[in-house]
Each structure stands twice: as C-alpha cells, then as structure tokens.
Structure 1
C-alpha cells in the first residue's frame, strides 16, 4: 500500500522558484570582474534565470545537453546556473586554473554546446577555441565590450540576450533523477573524470548542508561563499542559499584578504566558506586593518585540514566559530561537518578545540565507514584510533563517472575516497593521510603521478618521485625527487623550464632534490612514505 501524499519531483527549479516567491527582496550582492558592486535580489535572480532559460530554449537543445561556465562567483553566473539546470540542461562548471590542454579535454569530453565566460578569461577562451569540437555558442557574462568582440567575433553577450525576453516562463517538469550539473575532478591520475549530479541529489544535499548540525543556514544569515562556484559548485551553497532565502554575497575575482574583510564588514557577513589559504589571508588583512570582523559568527573550512593556530585565531581574536568540513567532488561534496553534540558543551576550551580539529560527523543522508587497508570491505573498529580506508555511501554520492559504464563503487556498494582516516564512536572523522599519489595545494588537487610521468620524459632523468612537502601558506606543495642519468649535467632551473609548457604554473614542483637512489618496496614500488619522512619539511622556514 502506498501513502496518500502528493508527489512532486525534487528539482533545482523549485529552489529558485521558492526564493523568488518568498524571499524576493533578500539581497544578492555581487562583485563584478571590473570590481564594481551590483546589488540585486533573489526576485531579480529568479526573473533573469527565467529570461536566460528562454534564450537556451531558443538554441534548440535537448534534455541533458551540457552548457559550460568559466566564471567567478557573481550574479550573472548564479542566474545562469538556475536557467541551465531548471530548463533541463546540465550546468558544467569548469576550473580555469587547469592547464589549457586539460580544459580542452574536459570541454570536448563533456561535449559542451555553450560556453559562458567572464571577461577575465577571454585570453584563455581565445586560445582554446579552435580546439573545441562541440561548442556552438560563446556567451560573455560581462557587459558588451568591443575588445571581446574583436577577440571572438561570434560572441554573444548575456545582458543583450536576456533583454529580449520576459520573466514569464514555466519551468519544465522533468524526472528528478535527470542530470543537473557536471564537475570534473582533477584529483585523479591521468585525465580528469566527470561527476554528474542529479536534481534529486542536489536538492537533498542542499537540505543537508542547511541543517543545524551541518552549516546551519537560515534566512537570517548573510552568507559569503569564497570557495569558487567552479569548485564542486561552491560546495552547494548557491542552492542552499536559495532554499533558505539568506542574503548572498558573491566576492567575484577579489579573493585577497583585504577585499574579503571589506565585504564582510560592509555587508555584515555572518557565515563564510573557503579553504585555509583564503582564511590565512583574511586573518592577516583583518589584523593589519584593525577590523574585528564583528558580524562573522562562523566560517567553514574545507579543501584541506585547518591548522590549530587558525582555529584559535578565529575564536580568540574574532569570536568566530570555525566549522571543519570534509568532502570531495564525488560526494557533492558534503561528507561530514564538525558541530558539537550536547555532551561537548561542558568541555573546556582546549577540549573543544580538540573536537574541532576533526573533520566532523556525517549528516543524515550519508554513511561513513573505515575498512581494513588489506581488505577493502571489512570494517574496522570505530574507536578513533584504528586507521583504514575511508569509504562513503548515500543519497548524493557518485555511482559511476560521467560516460563511464563501470561502477566506481566497491563490491558491496561503497565509494572508496582514497583517504586514510579514523572514526570514533560518535562518527567524528579524522583524516590521517591521503592517497599517496595526490597532493592538495591550497585546496586544489595535484596528481603526483602525472608530474612524475612528465619528469620521466626528460632525457637526463633516470627515475623520479613527486611527494607532498609541508608548506606554511599552501598546506602542501609538490617537490620532485630525481635521479640523474649517468654522466649528465642537470640543474633545478632546467627541470622547471621543462615543466613550464606542460602543466599549469601552480602545479610545477617548488623544489628539485637530486639523489643517488629512491627507496623501493619488495614489489618495486617507490616508498613515498619514506621520502616524505626524509624530505617532507624542506620547504618550511627554519
């Protein structure tokens, strides 16, 4: 017997419809690429998203076609998100920090039909345009500009396109399991892989991050996602913001500490989200300017582990609670968030700090387990001490990668994250290590295997290993451990030059260390753990 209740599909269009109906006058503040400020509202975001949906409809696309965006966090980008997904297309956000060859691969692999971009990225778009096989329309999200027209003669301008349409548009009713957005993860070896989210998974994820035990988002908040919208959909916050109806502050390209302090103090931001390197810049700028960040009640840290000193600085100097969170592209991203339970409230400040250092516990909707490193499906004790493989399953967790038929899951249906971690009896997660082939620099993944493979292509290198070295600003940076071929002259600068036209500048190792030998296991694998123990602190100042 079925229940006698209405059924309505969980659709992204329903969230912007809710915001437009019940929070129409709540502000959406946006810093543009020219650093000017636009103050709009959820009502206007709603109307313009419907206007752009009609533009997309006029192009004659079919359900599931992909529309790519390369843009900062701003109001036009936000409007386009709801227009794309709401009209049954797939919003494909692209990280502009990737090397051009990776961008070309991603756009062609996704078979994107449209490419939306901010003027900031015009040189990049012009460079890759001849290599893009499927893109039919290029749309600039900035105001009409002759320089853009000169560089891309067939360019269209967002403002001109939507000006010809009214806000009278009815969102199509589609299957809630339909694809809504696409993100590629660079946290793998080889070419990036696509993660295709559904309307259902996105709406459920938005509920989850809004809950009090997650990010605790409400209509009373002024939220500023500093994490880019091209980084796992800004951790889902633009969706949750519409669902809750909170004021949204979009910082655009100005992610330096002084710019963020200015926005927080001017617009009374109550919650902000970003990676540790962003927050270090914010703390430094606030200290220099004398700002007390009085409105900021909490900040969310993800992407990398938050240093204890940063947690203490936010609490002691600015009376701001720091919420540690963990997730990845394959998990939408929320897998856990660090909020206290009732039994923690009586703890001392130092004891609370120790709780805050973990990555938190999973919200309803996902489950975590730690498995034996040798047996990937055997769960180990939840004692906060036994380490193993971190695995996850739930309503917004990947099943298989975009355009790949093979399952991404274990034999019993869990996704193995590649992290090494512990869980305690309350479900608090503590990441102790990560897959040794990955380096996380300032919240961005770098594949050590890819850098090693490039190094091995150098005619004077016999063997190479790339490891993560601790870094005061970026948390981790790659360094190259290399063995020269016999009787050759080779220096660090020559290797840097070798990398220069093959990877993005920020992925090039910070240091090259030449050695006589690299430790190997009995099966011939490089013992990177030994290398990290020997060289992992070489970038730290003494």
Structure 2
C-alpha cells in the first residue's frame, strides 16, 4: 500500500522560489570582482534567475546540457546555481585554481556548451578558448562596460546584456527529482579529476541536512558568509541552505584576503561562516597583529582538512568564536559529519571537551558509515581500532560522471572514501590519515594528522606537514616539514623535543626540515604528493 501524500518532486529552483515568497526582503550582499558591493533581496534574485533561465533557453541550452562557471562567490554565480538547474540543465562549477591542463581536461570532459566567467579570469579563459572548442559561447559575469575592446572568445557577451533582453515571466518546469542539477570535479592530486554529478533530490536533501542544529545549524537569524568558494563542492551547500531558512547571505567575491574578509564580517554583521583551515590560520594572524576582535561573528565550521586543536582554542579564547569540525568530500556533497557535543558532555569545560570537538564528528541523518580492515571486515567502534572509512547515503556518489569504469563502491554498496579513521563508542569519527598518507613504521601505523596538529600547537610554527621517508630498519619514519611563523625562530632540536611525552615514542618524528611555504591543492589541502617528490631520497641522519 502506498501513502496518500502529494508527489511533489524536490527541485533546486523550489528553494529559491520559497525564499522569494517567504523571505522576500532578506538580503544577499556580494563583493564584485570588478569593484564595489552589490546588494539586493531573495525576491530580486529569483526574478533574475528566471530571466537567466529564459536567456539560456533562447541560446539553445537543453535539459542535461552542461553550463560551466569560472566564478567567485557573487550574486551572479548564485543566480547561475538556480537558473541553470531550474531548466533541467547542469551547472558545472569549475575550480580556477587547478592547473591549466586540468582545467582543459575538465572543460572538455564535461563538454560544457557555455562558460560564464568573472572579469578576474578573462586572461585565463582567453588562453583556454582555443583548446576548448566545444564551448560555443563565453559570457562575462559583468555589465557590457567591462567587455574587452577586442577578444578572440567566440560569442562573447556580457551577463547583464543577456539578462536585460528577457522578462521574468518564467514558470519553473516540473521534472524527475533525480535529474542532474550540478557537476563538480575532484581535485585530482594523484590522477585525472573525476566528475561528481549531483541530482536535484540529493542537493535538496543535503541542504535540509545542513540546516540541522548538529550539522551546520543554519537559521533565519543568521548572517551567513561562506568563505569556502562556490566552485568547491557548491560552497558546502550553503547557497542552498541559506535561502531554505531565509538567512541573509554575504558573498565575499574575489576578496579572500584576511583584511577584505574582516571588513565584510564587520560591515554586514556576519554571525556564521565556513572555510578551510588555511583561511582561519591566516585570519588569526591578522587579528592578532591588529589586536582586533569580531563584533558579531560567533561560530564557524572548518572542513576540507583537519582543523588543528590549537586553532580551535585560539579562536575561542582570543576571539570568542566557536569552531566546529565537519567532514566530507566532493563525493558526499560534501556533508558527512558534524562535531557538536551531546547531552552527556554537558558540564565539560572547553579544555575537557576539546579532544571530542577536535574529532571529525558524528554522522548527520542520511549518512551511514563504518570502518573496515584490509579484508573488508567491519571493525569495532571503540575509538582505538582504525580502518578504511566507508560511507553511504542519498547524497553520496554512486559512480563518476562519464568515467566508463566502475566507481569506488564495494560489492554491498558502500563508497570507499580513501580515509583511514576510528569511531568511538559515542559515534565520533576521527580521520587518522588518508590511506595513501598513513605512515607504516616497524609494523605500527603512525597518523601524520596527529603529528601535524601537535606541531601547529607550537607557538613558532605557522604550518606543518608530515610525510613518511624510507628507513632501512623500520620501512618508513615520519619527517616533519615546517613553515616558521614570521619573526619567530625555532630549531629542529627544539621541535623534536616538543613531541617528547605527547605521543608514543615510536610516533615521534625523526627529523625536521624548514621551508618557506608548503604546497597546497586547489582546495587548500596539503599536497603531499609534491612533498614526497621534493623529499624523494631523503635520508634521516
């Protein structure tokens, strides 16, 4: 027997339609790449998204066609999220920080028919155009006054001209909620980037889960500024979650430096933000140098890579901002866990609860996970056993876009994340390493993440990475690679002594090397493949 409920399909356009009707006057504020601040409402954004939809149809965009973007967090990019998906096409957000050869591969592999780009990226797209012949039209996300006097880009026009030719009398069509709506590619640090194709159903369910109190906890009272880029896993779903609850949305554009971010935090009364650890490490230094404080910012979610406990403590003690850990990946839309405390933790001091909050957290409803050994046998949730992390759920990838080869699913339908983790009796998951980064020394496993977090807690260390280097006796031993804080000095001997008594003796690094900067992926993660190349043949004294 089937239930007698309405079969209303879940659609991305329905999110913005809801915000325009019930949160019509709530603001969206954006810093423009061409300069200045743009300010309008959800109602206005909805009208422009419908104008965009009509313009796309006039250009011949059909359901299933991919429409690419090379753009920052702006109101125009926000409109593309909804206007493209709303007609049944696929919004393909391209990460401009990738290497040029990766960009060419991604654009050609996705077969983008149109590409919308910010003024910042004009020189880049002019280099890409001759080797991306399938792109029929290039659209500058600005007014016509910013169009170059001469350009070899085929069909180049301005976004504002495109919209001004249309009226907003468009009715969003109904279609199957499993229709594809957006496409993101993985960073591709070890092989070619892989496309993850999200559906309307998965995106709406993910956005609803993001609003849960123990997840990202979005609410109408919030002023949300996603510092995580909209080209990185759809800004962790915040451009969908904010209009669902009717929260004011602040978009920082290309101004990702600490001074520009701080200016928007203060001028717009931001209460909640999200981004990768490198953003917050730089912002902490900026705040310390100017003896600054936040007047409204009270919490932020950190993901993308492990957040050092020392960073959490500094934000809470010095800036009165709570950092919440989260975990996910492109293949999980990305939300998988949140590290909020439970009722049993009431009464714990900040110091007492830090080891819990420093973990990646408990699964949100909709996601399931387990850890398994090399034979695929499930391991106990005792906080000590660690194994390969597997996940499944309605917003977890089933297969990669256009791969032609099977995805990363096990025979019984779990996705292999590539992470090694523990799960404690209360359900808190902790990533101990990527499977390719864990160090095996004398038959024992050493977590590079634990060592990096400990190194970061030293006052003279700005950033740290740990990789395994060959050892004739132990197979591998940990090498600590450090960037010193400006104006502070520390020796290798001092750093090695800093680990004494804080980790098991066999986990202590054998050597320290100092560098001016560490390599990062396009999404801000440490690029350990590059470090292993840089230190190939390294011999511990």
Shared fold (TM-score, shorter chain, > 0.5)? yes
In the alignment, which residue of structure 2 is the partner of 1:515?
Answer: 537
User: What is the correspondence of 1:36-51 to structure 2 with a 5 Å cutoff?
Assistant: 36-51=36-51
Residues 473 and 257 (structure 1), Cα distance of their counterparts in 2 relative to 1, 3 Å cut: farther
Counterpart of 1:339 in structure 2 is 340
Aligned residues of 1:261 and 1:291 also touching (Cα < 8 A): no
In the alignment, does 2:170 pair up with 1:169?
yes
**1:393 corresponds to which residue?**
392
Aligned-pair CA distance for 1:11:
0.4
Structure 2 unaligned segments of length 5 or more: list them: 439-447, 453-475, 486-518
Q: Within 5 Å, which residues of 2 pair with 1:463-502?
A: 470-472=481-483
Partners of 1:225 and 1:273 within 8 A in 2: yes
Aligned residues: 469
Aligned position for 2:103 = 103
Hey, what's the Cα distance between the residues in 2 that align with 1:189 and 1:513?
Answer: 17
2:62 corresponds in structure 1 to 62
**Alpha-carbon offset, residue 187 of structure 1:** 4.1
Partner of 1:351: 352
1:213-228 correspondence to structure 2 within 5 Å: 213-228=214-229
CA distance change for structure 1 residues 295 and 355 in 2, over 3 Å: closer, same or farther? Answer: same
Aligned residue in 1 for 2:246: 245
Task: For residue 437 of structure 1, report the CA deviation from its aligned partner.
Answer: 6.0
Contact 1:261-1:285 within 8 A present in 2 as well: no
Shift of 1:288: 2.8
Contact 1:224/1:249 (8 A) holds in 2: yes
Contact 2:220 2:246 in 1 (8 A): yes
Give 1:197 shift.
0.3
Q: Which residue of 2 aligns with 1:292?
A: 293
Partner of 1:148: 148
CA distance change for structure 1 residues 510 and 176 in 2, over 3 Å: closer, same or farther?
same
Mapped partners of 1:53, 1:515: distance in 2: 56
CA deviation vs aligned residue, 1:103-158 (integer Å, no higher than 9, x gap): 11101100101000001011110001001131111000022246535134541110
Query: For 2:300, what is the secondary structure of its paired residue?
Result: strand
Q: Partners of 1:153 and 1:205 in 2: how far apart?
A: 37
CA distance in 2, matches of 1:16, 1:383: 43
1:196 Cα deviation from its structure 2 partner: 0.3
- Give the distance between the partners of 1:332 and 1:510, measured in 2 at CA: 29
Q: Normalising by structure 1, what TM-score?
A: 0.82
- 2:34–2:119 Cα contact (<8 Å) kept: no
1:109-124 matches, cutoff 5 A: 109-124=109-124
Whole-angstrom CA distance in 1 between matches of 2:191 and 2:153:
34
Q: Report the Cα offset of residue 471 of structure 1.
A: 4.5
1:505-533 Cα distance to aligned partner (Å, 9 max, x none): x976598446388xxxxxxxxxxxxxxxx
Q: Which runs of 4+ in 1 moved over 4 A?
A: 437-441, 467-474, 506-511
SS in 2 for 1:224: strand
Displacement after TM superposition at 1:166 (Å): 1.4
Q: Map residues 36-435 of structure 1 onto 2, 5 A cutoff.
A: 36-145=36-145, 148-152=148-152, 154=154, 155-187=156-188, 189-372=190-373, 374-376=374-376, 378-405=377-404, 406-435=406-435
The 8 Å contact of residues 18 and 243 in structure 1, kept in 2 or not, is answered as yes
Which stretch shifts more, 130-139 or 290-299?
A: 290-299
